[in-house]
Chains A and B, each alone.
Chain A
Amino acid sequence: MLSLADIRFILRRNLVTAIAGVLIVVLMVVAIIGPYIVPHDPLQTNLREVLRPPSASYWFGTDHLGRDIFSRVITAARLDFAIAIIAVALSAAAGTAVGAFSGYLGGWVDKLLSRLVDVMMAFPLFVAAMALVAVLGNSVQSIVLATAIINLPFYFRLMRAEITQRREAGYVEAAIINGNGLGRILFTFLIPNALPPVIVQISLNLGWAILNTAGLAFIGLGVAPPTPEWGIMIQEGAAMMISGQWWVVVFPGAALALSVFCFSLLGDGIRDIMDPRRRS
């Protein structure tokens, strides 16, 4: 395990990772308390204040219905993060468990599951998400489930590879000889040892899941207006980019890009910290 001094040393060497981590904490706090502190009601339309540029009373300006963009951007963080976190948690839990099981058992079970995952990987991610939304119906729950399913193969493959490598290790043999059952061997001895790459994957995945949710909302799937959500806000503001009202798109877009940026930097940083060979 890392001691506190180690972590301090690593953080000093990885300033970018530390900053990304702090920003993510800030974004999370905003997502949690945001809806209570916003200056305006994110759903309140005001036809006398339509498409106002950023000002002292409307920090990010107003959209085509006179809604306050600052309040909408802040409120949207909760929904976008919640979808991404729930989906990635489901996917990591299921993918890790099934992958470990498959890698440990081997044989025809492993062959069948691996082939199944190969087939899942044959569909480009965004196209697979679209197809799943078609089957599950156009709703937020479908987006969560679709995102969870399309990410499953990554965790499955990662865990399966780790377990296949460790299956024959001495400590596993010792555990078997001591009469531990399959579940205990997997969950107490094998999976915890194979977790580090999964954690890196989770961090990279979270950014990608946020992007995916916003992308689907942008093309009209999943979250529906008037709910404040970054992808929908960008879609609603698209026409205004041609007539010059940049603030309708730029603020939600920047919030989206910043979140994805932080998660991917954090993922890269965690990978460096967990894998000492890659530390430079």
Chain B
Amino acid sequence: MRHSLARAILARVWSAVPVLIGVLIVTFVLIRALPGDPAIQYATSPGAGPEEIAAIRREMGLDRSVVEQFLIYVGEILKGNFGHSMQTGQPVLADFAVRLPATIELAVMAFVMAVAVSLPLGILAAIFRHSWFDQLCRVLSSFAAAMPVFFFGLLLIYIFYFRLGVASEPIGRWPSMIIPPMPITGFATIDALMEGDWQLFGMALAKMVMPAASMAIFAVAPLLRMMRGAMIDALDSDYVLASRAFGLSRARVILRYALPNAMLPVLATMGMVLSTMLGANVMIEKLFSWPGIGAYAVNSLIAVDYAPVQAFVLIVAVIFVLMTLVIDVISAAVDPRYKLRG
């Protein structure tokens, strides 16, 4: 049996390859479809003649066939060359390296918050099915699903920063008057801890609470609904009935038997939520002036600076594909009933 599982996993990994190639083709077409001729943009003087432009064209490889250009493009990406940002003047990859930790840190924080709120609520809603509590959770999740994240973020800013004055200023990662720690890892909280400064750690954490809570709101509905549904299926199953017939305590039946079985579909939803948070937190980064990759990509897009946008789309799509793959393989390894798509 194990052997066939290994084969199924290999087949699943293999099935991600055409999708990744497709993603590369799409991003390649994306640059070619973008408005403007790169050779003319690159020409040093506005009065550059046709010969000069042709020379630049040759130098940039624009005179080669489309297939050749695509292979060069893939080769450069494998070497880690995503071009230069016109705005910062830096290689795009270097710009990303500086900003990625900020995005990951915020996404993880938001993910933890969303999971910590939704899963217990979903479990309780399933246990007390059709009660007033279940109804309340239903209203809550519909409400959370309809709430635009940027609007929710602004409501939090108004209530907790302006009215109550308990939140820190909703701009950036650090309060303006302090000297941030040396960026060793780029993760504000970890860097603060490495300097052993608990006060700095507290400040970094406080800065993250509001943007992370705003991001978490969109994940509440899918996580809560999935957890409730999976838990109801588990509670209605024969093995739960059997364990109750054996006279096991209610707590033991729920925690030992129903819950682990209900976690599998929730795991898949969690993977979806985390990868969406890594890529699609653009609005929150923009709202809170968070120095992450999403805000960087949007600002480049508005400034008609396309290299960072293209890199962003490519990187996020690859993360998305790999994340789905990992979740799929884990699910198959953990649960023999799970069918791999492939």
- Contact partners of B87 in chain A: CB under 8 A: none
Task: Judge whether A101 is part of the interface by a CB distance below 8 angstroms.
Answer: no
A257 pairs with B146, CB closer than 8 A: yes
Kindly specify which of B18-26, B41-49, B233-241 makes contact with the partner chain: B18-26
Task: Kindly supply a per-residue 1/0 record for chain A positions 245-262, scoring 1 wherever the CB is within 8 Å of any chain B CB and 0 otherwise.
Answer: 010011001001110110
Q: How many residues of A contact B (CB 8 A)?
A: 46
Count A/B pairs, Cβ under 8 Å: 131
User: In this complex, what residue of A is CB-closest to B139?
Assistant: A16
Report which of A130, A131, A138, A218 forms a contact with B150, defined as CB distance below 8 A: A218
Report which of A220, A237, A242 forms a contact with B170, defined as CB distance below 8 A: A242
Given contacts A115-B18, A137-B35, A215-B150, contact A127 B142 (CB under 8 A): no
A111-148 residues with Cβ-Cβ distance < 8 A to B are 115-116, 118-119, 122-128, 130-131, 133-135, 137-138
**Cα-based distance from A137 to B304 in the complex (angstroms):** 10
Interface magnitude class on chain B: 35 or more
**Cα-based distance from A235 to B155 in the complex (angstroms):** 13
- Contact partners of A268 in chain B: CB under 8 A: 142
Report which of A123, A256, A260 forms a contact with B320, defined as CB distance below 8 A: A123
Given contacts A119-B23, A242-B157, A249-B154, contact A135 B33 (CB under 8 A): yes
**Cα-based distance from A245 to B282 in the complex (angstroms):** 25
Report which of A116, A126, A257 forms a contact with B282, defined as CB distance below 8 A: A126
Kindly specify which of B90-98, B254-262, B310-318 makes contact with the partner chain: B310-318
B25-61 residues with Cβ-Cβ distance < 8 A to A are 25-26, 30, 33-35
**Cα-based distance from A241 to B148 in the complex (angstroms):** 16
Q: Is chain A's binding surface mostly helix, strand, loop or mixed?
A: helix
**Cα-based distance from A276 to B117 in the complex (angstroms):** 32
- Contact partners of B33 in chain A: CB under 8 A: 135
With A250-B155, A253-B154 known, 15 other A-B pairs at CB within 8 A are A115-B19, A119-B26, A122-B19, A122-B23, A123-B320, A130-B282, A131-B309, A134-B309, A207-B146, A214-B148, A219-B298, A234-B151, A249-B154, A253-B155, A264-B146
10 contacts between A and B (CB under 8 A): A123-B313, A123-B316, A127-B313, A127-B316, A207-B146, A219-B286, A238-B154, A242-B170, A249-B158, A261-B142
Closest 4 CB pairs of A and B: A119-B22, A261-B146, A253-B151, A260-B146
